[in-house]
Structure 1
Amino acid sequence: MIGLVDGNNFYVSCERIFDPSLEGKPVAVLSNNDGCVISRSQEFKNLQIPMGTPYFQLREAEKYYGLIFRSSNYELYGDISRRVIAVLQEFSQDVEQYSIDEAFVQVPLDDLEECHRFGLSLRQRVLRWVGIPCGVGFAKTKTLAKIANHIGKKRPDGVFVMPADPSTVLATVPVAEVWGVGRRLAPKLERLGIRNAQQLAEKDDDFLLKRFSIMLARTALELRGIPAVAADTLHDIAQSVTCSRSFGHPVVDFTDLAESVAHYAAQAAEHLRRDGLVAAGANVYFQYHPEQGPPPRDGGFTGTTLTFPTPTASTGDIIKAISPKLPAMFIPGRRYKKSGVVFFGLESTSHQQLQLFSSHQDDSRKERLAAAMDDINRHYGHGTLFNLAEGINRPWSMKRERLTPSYTTSWEQLLQVK
């Protein structure tokens, strides 16, 4: 059986671990720069406030309904996610993390009652050891497990096992809620009379291949209980890795822009190393505000594209290659609101072609240095070690006025018990 474990209202649940006073209250976590709602407690959902609502529209409701907002603390959420995965690995040797709050687990069980008991034990362990309430769903395929999880999260015990014949359950699931369909494809299916998951499962494979795609045909197979969605492989490498943020306030100084690009490049490079990838080059950009004038000027982008001498994930080499390109991108007098770095030409380090004129000894030294920095930052907290080019004060950082402490990723912010 395949199980899907999904943290309930994950960002809010992470905040509640260290602040029990938030329990039972309408709590929401805001996006970058405290822009809009990206995670809601059930109490917040009960007020019919949609996901993505801008914070400025909720200022009056904040006082009237007693709404509580927190700035997004991704360092904390990432660490709590890793702790949940560590607990899941105590139960299964085959754990595939799907997102920050979801993971698939393979379990050698076929009996439905045994699966249900297993799910209860797993859920209780995650709640007790980490503090995150989860929904757990079991089925024969990943797509069915997603549906089972959705049902399990609404049950009192938080667990649901898909029956051997799932047709009755699938008939109650709108096609738009099927993993792999989505709300953009759903209207096309509905016009063809495919309104629920069971009707999609019954549709002929040739019809789906001709009218739609092989991905939708695989989804239909999964709904029939036939595994068709494999784990990520080296052939499924992403096309790019991106890191960008809006600034907390308009930036006019070139030094601040250069620091922000170096910081985002370093974060994206760490992502590359974590996934065992190297990049062939990068797109770098600044985005600036429109000006009222006089004369009025439109907002826009300025950017450049560069390739690295050799594909790399070394933060130092990447910053060294990018930095000389930045002055030509800078337009004096403009008020900048965002910068970003996009790495392209990604390939696995295990399949990387060696360069004839590169020094293997030098590359090995850089890899060890990067690995040491990553290990220290994982152990002592994100940002413990960083390149000086990323800046120290970082006045351009995004606005997070309601940011909670990094309880588990910073020695200075550890929770104190008195």
Structure 2
Amino acid sequence: MIGLIDGNNFYVSCERIFNLTLENRPVAVLSNNDGCVISRSNEFKALNIPMGTPYFQLKPLLGKYGLILKSSNYELYGDISRRMIAVLNEFTPDVEQYSIDEAFIHLKLAAGAGYFEYGQQIRHTILKWVGIPCGVGFARSKTLAKIANHIAKKQPCGVFVMPDNSRAVLDNLPVSEVWGVGRRLAPKLETLGLRSAWQLASADETFLRKKFNVTLAKTARELRGESVIEHEDPAELSQSISCSRSFGRPVVDLSDLAEAVAHYISRAAVKLRKKGQRASGVNVYFQYYPEYEPVKREGGFTGFTVTFERPTSATAEIIMAVSPKLKGIFIDGRRYKKAGVVFFGLESGNKRQMDLFADKIRDAKADRLAQAVDQINRRYGQGTLFNLAEGITKPWAMKRDLLTPCYTTNWEQILKVM
């Protein structure tokens, strides 16, 4: 059996763990640079304010409806997510995290044990230990588990087990709400008479392959209760690792762009080391705004690629390799909106090709330094130690004027009980 555990209104629920005054009030979390709504409480949804509503449109409504808005606190949300996954590992060793707020679990209970009761136990434990309310759906495939979870969230108990004969459920589910179909594909299916999930499940597999693709044919099989979507291995090596952000304001100085790139390199290098990998090279890019005065100029991208002498995950080495090349892609007079880095050619740190002429002592020192920095930042909070090339004030940083403290990842911001 496959279960899907999904945190309800996850970002808002994370905020509510540490601020009980947010309970039963219309709360929303905003996207990067406080752009638009990306998470809503049930009370906020009841006001019929849709996802994606820009912040500037909400400002006149703050007093009228008592809206409470928060900047996205990804450090907090990521840590709460990690705690949720840790709880799930107490119930089964086979946990497949799908996103920051949801995970599939694969399990087979002993004879006589009920999945509904087991789901209630999981839900109660996550709420008690972590503070996140969630929905729990069980089914024989991932696609059906997604549907079961969607139903569970609308029920007071928060748990739903898909029956073996799922026709009654799928008959009432529009095909557009099936995981993997989406808004673009749904109209095409509807014109062919496939308007419900059950009609898609009953469609001929060969027809779906020829008319559409293999993926849709797999979706139909999943709706019939066949588990055919591959189980993702969390230990599988990543093919690339990236980090990019939009700036809090237009950036015009090369020095600010250099700081931002160094910061993104640092963040991505931490991901590399966490996975035990090294990169063979990096792509670096800037994105600039279009201009309309005094002369119209199109927006666009500029970038370059650096291949390292040997695969590395050392932050300082990567910054030194990248920094001299930034001036070559900087266009004076353009306003930049975003920068990013993408590491490629990743390989396992334990299975890399050795270099006869490498300075092994220097490499070992660089590895120990990176490990020490990572340990300190894990213990005392992200950014406790950083490379000076990342800048100190970071005027280009993502705008988060409504940010709450990082309660669980920064000692300086931990809750104090007086």
TM-score tier, shorter chain, comes to: over 0.9
- Relative to structure 1, is the Cα distance of residues 273 and 215 closer, same or farther in structure 2, using a 3 angstrom cutoff? farther
Q: Does residue 344 in structure 1 map to residue 347 in structure 2?
A: no
Give the 3-state SS of the residue equivalent to 2:75 in structure 1.
helix
Aligned partner of 1:39 in structure 2 is 39
Aligned partner of 1:55 in structure 2 is 55
Map 1:364-375 → 2, pairs under 5 A: 364-375=364-375
CA distance, structure 2, for counterparts of residue 8 and residue 234 of structure 1? 24
Equivalent pair of 2:252/2:334 in contact (CA under 8 Å): yes
Aligned partner of 1:229 in structure 2 is 229
Per-residue deviation, residues 116-148 of structure 1 (Å, max 9, x unmatched): 111111111111111100000011121111111
Map 1:247-286 → 2, pairs under 5 A: 247-286=247-286
Runs of 5+ unmatched residues, structure 1: none
Residue 285 of structure 1 and its aligned partner are, at CA, apart by 1.7
Map 1:49-128 → 2, pairs under 5 A: 49-109=49-109, 114-128=114-128
Amino acid at match of 2:401: E
- Relative to structure 1, is the Cα distance of residues 178 and 296 closer, same or farther in structure 2, using a 3 angstrom cutoff? closer
Give the 3-state SS of the residue equivalent to 2:278 in structure 1.
strand
Equivalent pair of 2:12/2:41 in contact (CA under 8 Å): yes
Equivalent pair of 1:28/1:37 in contact (CA under 8 Å): yes
CA distance, structure 2, for counterparts of residue 163 and residue 138 of structure 1? 9
Equivalent pair of 1:112/1:161 in contact (CA under 8 Å): no
Q: Does residue 399 in structure 1 map to residue 399 in structure 2?
A: yes
Per-residue deviation, residues 370-396 of structure 1 (Å, max 9, x unmatched): 333333322322222222211111111
Equivalent pair of 2:96/2:232 in contact (CA under 8 Å): no
Amino acid at match of 2:302: T
- Which stretch has the larger CA shift, 259-268 or 282-291? 282-291
CA distance, structure 1, for counterparts of residue 173 and residue 366 of structure 2? 51
CA distance, structure 1, for counterparts of residue 277 and residue 342 of structure 2? 14
- Relative to structure 1, is the Cα distance of residues 347 and 49 closer, same or farther in structure 2, using a 3 angstrom cutoff? farther
- Which stretch has the larger CA shift, 170-179 or 35-44? 170-179
Residue 276 of structure 1 and its aligned partner are, at CA, apart by 4.0
Residue 335 of structure 1 and its aligned partner are, at CA, apart by 2.7
Aligned partner of 2:158 in structure 1 is 158
Equivalent pair of 2:96/2:233 in contact (CA under 8 Å): no
- Relative to structure 1, is the Cα distance of residues 302 and 115 closer, same or farther in structure 2, using a 3 angstrom cutoff? same
Q: Does residue 11 in structure 1 map to residue 19 in structure 2?
A: no
Give the 3-state SS of the residue equivalent to 1:386 in structure 2.
coil
Q: Does residue 325 in structure 1 map to residue 325 in structure 2?
A: yes
Residue 236 of structure 1 and its aligned partner are, at CA, apart by 7.2
Aligned partner of 2:288 in structure 1 is 288
Alignment root-mean-square deviation, CA: 2.3
Q: TM-score, normalised by structure 1?
A: 0.93
CA distance, structure 1, for counterparts of residue 234 and residue 101 of structure 2? 23
- Relative to structure 1, is the Cα distance of residues 389 and 52 closer, same or farther in structure 2, using a 3 angstrom cutoff? same
- Which stretch has the larger CA shift, 9-18 or 253-262? 253-262
Give the 3-state SS of the residue equivalent to 2:114 in structure 1.
helix
Equivalent pair of 2:27/2:67 in contact (CA under 8 Å): yes
CA distance, structure 2, for counterparts of residue 79 and residue 394 of structure 1? 24
- Relative to structure 1, is the Cα distance of residues 317 and 108 closer, same or farther in structure 2, using a 3 angstrom cutoff? same
Equivalent pair of 2:172/2:196 in contact (CA under 8 Å): yes
Per-residue deviation, residues 208-258 of structure 1 (Å, max 9, x unmatched): 222222222222222222211122249976554332212112222221110
CA distance, structure 2, for counterparts of residue 216 and residue 361 of structure 1? 53
Q: TM-score, normalised by structure 2?
A: 0.93
Amino acid at match of 2:181: V
- Relative to structure 1, is the Cα distance of residues 183 and 111 closer, same or farther in structure 2, using a 3 angstrom cutoff? farther
CA distance, structure 2, for counterparts of residue 145 and residue 154 of structure 1? 15
CA distance, structure 2, for counterparts of residue 177 and residue 360 of structure 1? 55
Aligned partner of 2:140 in structure 1 is 140
Report the number of matched residues: 418
Aligned partner of 1:414 in structure 2 is 414
CA distance, structure 2, for counterparts of residue 220 and residue 357 of structure 1? 55
CA distance, structure 2, for counterparts of residue 164 and residue 374 of structure 1? 48
Map 1:11-30 → 2, pairs under 5 A: 11-30=11-30
Residue 278 of structure 1 and its aligned partner are, at CA, apart by 3.4
Aligned partner of 2:201 in structure 1 is 201
Equivalent pair of 1:112/1:163 in contact (CA under 8 Å): no
Map 1:205-220 → 2, pairs under 5 A: 205-220=205-220
Amino acid at match of 1:286: F
Aligned partner of 2:313 in structure 1 is 313
Give the 3-state SS of the residue equivalent to 2:304 in structure 1.
strand
Equivalent pair of 2:28/2:44 in contact (CA under 8 Å): yes
- Which stretch has the larger CA shift, 378-387 or 107-116? 107-116
- Relative to structure 1, is the Cα distance of residues 193 and 232 closer, same or farther in structure 2, using a 3 angstrom cutoff? same
Residue 293 of structure 1 and its aligned partner are, at CA, apart by 3.8
Per-residue deviation, residues 255-294 of structure 1 (Å, max 9, x unmatched): 1110100111111222233344433322212223344543
Amino acid at match of 1:70: K
- Relative to structure 1, is the Cα distance of residues 283 and 95 closer, same or farther in structure 2, using a 3 angstrom cutoff? same
Give the 3-state SS of the residue equivalent to 1:243 in structure 2.
strand
Amino acid at match of 2:242: T
CA distance, structure 1, for counterparts of residue 239 and residue 190 of structure 2? 32
Amino acid at match of 1:321: A
- Relative to structure 1, is the Cα distance of residues 165 and 368 closer, same or farther in structure 2, using a 3 angstrom cutoff? farther
